[in-house]
Amino acid sequence: MEKKGKVLMQKYELGRFLGQGNFAKVYHARNLTTGQSVAIKVIDKEKVLKVGMIEQTKREISVMRMVKHPNVLQLYEVMASKTNIYFVMEYARGGELFSKLAKGRLKEDVARKCFQQLISAVDFCHRRGVYHRDLKPENLLLDEDGTLKVSDFGLSALAETKHQDGLLHTSCGTPAYVAPEVLNRRGYDGAKADIWSCGVILFVLLAGYLPFHDSNLIAMYQKISRAEYSFPNWFSNDVRKLLSRILDPNPNARISIGKIMENRWFKRGFNSRHMRRGKTESKELGMQDGIAVSAPCEVIDSSLEVNSKKEVIKPTNLNAFDIISLSSGLDLSGLFAESDSKEDIKFTSPHPASTIVDKLEEIAGNLSLTVKKGGGVMKLERSSKGRMRELSIDAEIFEFTPSFHLVEMRKSCGDTFEYLEMLKQHVRPALSDIVWAWAS
């Protein structure tokens, strides 16, 4: 963790720690020249390189340079040292919208205002060929005036990344907010998928809970694919009609952003001219204004690679992501159903197999376990030594797609009580930053 009071690049004084993700930590900071409060995202360069995410980091920079809008968190500057990449960003003093929802649902007029700002930002992004792909309340921030700011473009895609069929093909997002067509691995329209996520967010703002939820991941996907949800009795008829058109499982029939903006409920109090015009709308060709990139070779050199000779474990390829939610005639619930034995745990992860393997090796090291690989299975072992009993844990990785994996962990040898305590106290907490959903 960076030290409070540390000065970066002789320009920014680091303040309190704000939060962290898989490869980055975020701090409040102060510009020593202007006194302006900013947020600095500190990205561990070695980790990013190690898992092959340099292209994703470059894309996030490119995207944030393109989408300068009042309702999109602004990127001011990108800097780099030998070990870290620094994103200097707008500081949203109000925190996550998600934290507001923890206190209960929003009043309809407040929810509508948030939704108007969200749609305005998403529309602006789509017009520039940017698709967010991970819209959820945790990625919506509020400034000190309550203005909504869309953040975290780490999973975003650009129009030029579409395949020849004109569609995107990377399955990503957060389970409860992801559109049904994203699950089928046949390609999807990024704009329509974002619209679905906006609809789920509106439902959550007004209801205080998710429209699609189930402890069984497969069952939840089936609900999403069939749009199985019900409205609370306090939802107005206008809201119900709008949400029914947004949460349409058929992307071709789903309402467009243009039509949303023409909707009677949506338009109440909506200043379309102000909301749809970005801060630099008159300078569309000058997208670099307002952003400085320090040491660009450090940040965006595509030749940066990691020379790793580590043994590679190849995950079992299931090729089944496309039938998770679409094949109602196939009962896959057993795959994710809770095990009769509490000794087995399963989780899904949106990370590459290499990242999952690295995390398991890190956990093994922290627990003084040796790692053996073979036959698609990782064994985390401890031989009997002194008072320490023999213990062996098997971990098997199943690949649905390159960006979606199921991991099964089970005890193959050793004391059950010790194993369960190890899972509870050490393994599960350590896995939290790569887990998409626990399946048992």
CA distances from 354 to 107, 165, 311, 332, 406 (A): 45, 29, 10, 26, 13
Cβ 247 vs Cβ 211: under 8 Å: yes
Residue 174: name the closest of 353, 434, 436, 440 by CA. 436
Four-residue CA torsion sign, 97, 100, 104, 109: negative
Active site includes 134? yes
CB 151 within 8 Å of CB 87 = no
Beta-carbon-side half-sphere exposure of residue 180 (alpha carbons within 13 Å)? 23
Nearest to 251 by CA among 204, 190, 198: 190
Annotated catalytic residue within 109, 123, 134, 238: 134
Q: What are the residues whose beta carbons fall under 8 Å from the beta carbon of 363, sequence distance 6 or more?
A: 369, 380, 426, 427, 430, 431
Q: Write the CB contacts of 217 (distance below 8 Å, at least 6 apart in sequence).
A: 175, 336, 348, 437, 439
Quickly count: other Cβ atoms within 10 Å of residue 14's Cβ.
19
Give the CA angle between residues 398, 402, 403 to the nearest 5°: 95
The answer to the question of whether 41 is labelled as a binding residue is yes
Residue whose structure tokens are 């995390």: 359
Alpha-carbon gap, residue 156 to 58, rounded angstroms: 11
Q: Position 260: which residue type?
A: I
CA distance 134 to 63: 14
Separation between Cα atoms, residue 178 and residue 367, nearest integer Å: 35
What string of H, E and C letters represents the secondary structure of 238-253? HHHHHHHHHCCCCCCC
Decide: helix, strand or coil at residue 320.
Answer: coil
| Distance in angstroms (rounded) separating the CA atoms of residues 345 and 407 | 8
Measured from the Cβ of residue 337, the count of other Cβ atoms closer than 10 Å reads 17
Residues with Cβ within 8 Å of 271's Cβ and at least 6 positions away in sequence, in order, are none
Nearest Cα neighbor of 183 from 153, 152, 212 is 212
Q: Catalytic amino acids? A: 134
Residues belonging to the binding site for ATP are 41
Residues belonging to the binding site are 41
